[in-house]
A = this chain, B = another copy of it.
Amino acid sequence: MAERAGSEGGDLAEARIDAIRDAGLVETRRAQILDASLQLFLKKGYAAVTIREICAASGVNQASLYDYIANKQDILRRLLNRLWFARDIEGLADRLAADPAPVSEVLRAYYAENWKTNRDAILLAYRSVPHLTPEDRKLLREREERVIRELSARLAERTGALEEDPRVRTVSNFLIYLNAFGPFRDWLMRDGEEDVMLEMVGAAVDAMVARLG
């Protein structure tokens, strides 16, 4: 009924289509479609983008498009699976578990690395929420909850705070929100201020983490 990506499950259901036999071709064309769609969705918003625009930008014929994706919603779901559900924000928890450096340093390093990479994923996910079905929205939320829970566990472990302490959960939530600072504000931030941004965000993170001790 639905193909599943390689991850541990929990991602959005992707329709199966078997009109085209050549699996490699399917992959190629789907990549074209998804790449073009992402650009357009980010620029104009999901609902304002037409199938015809996607076809023009991806070079896929309007009828052929439906040999590779089931419908417009299916494009969004595949994009979110590719960007959001496969995104390595969960790596933050793993890194806290593995890296013996001080918590605040681990966090700073993480932000410095991921700030720009996650940009598209964050913007697409936050802005697409209204266009998702309730079930898909639920899955998005559950993934966030899971990430926050893992992060909380590592954070408690490293700072000595209790995992049930609501402050731990709040800080976790906050750390993830901080990761979206760059993407959401880059219509205002100028180039070259990124190091300043990191320094100040780092200071904020330090303070919050210190409170947990």
Seen from chain A, the residues whose Cβ lies within 8 Å of a Cβ on chain B are 42-48, 126-127, 129-131, 141, 144-145, 148, 166-167, 169-171, 173-174, 177, 180-181, 184-185, 187-189, 193, 196-197, 199-201, 203-208, 210-211
With A141-B187, A187-B141: A177-B181 Cβ-Cβ less than 8 Å: yes
CB <8 Å contact, B188 and A148: yes
Contacts of A188 in B (CB 8 A): 141, 144-145, 148, 173
A195 to B169, CA, bound (A): 13
Q: Closest residue to A140 on the B side, CB-wise?
A: B187
Contacts of A148 in B (CB 8 A): 188
CB <8 Å contact, B45 and A130: yes
CB <8 Å contact, B181 and A174: yes
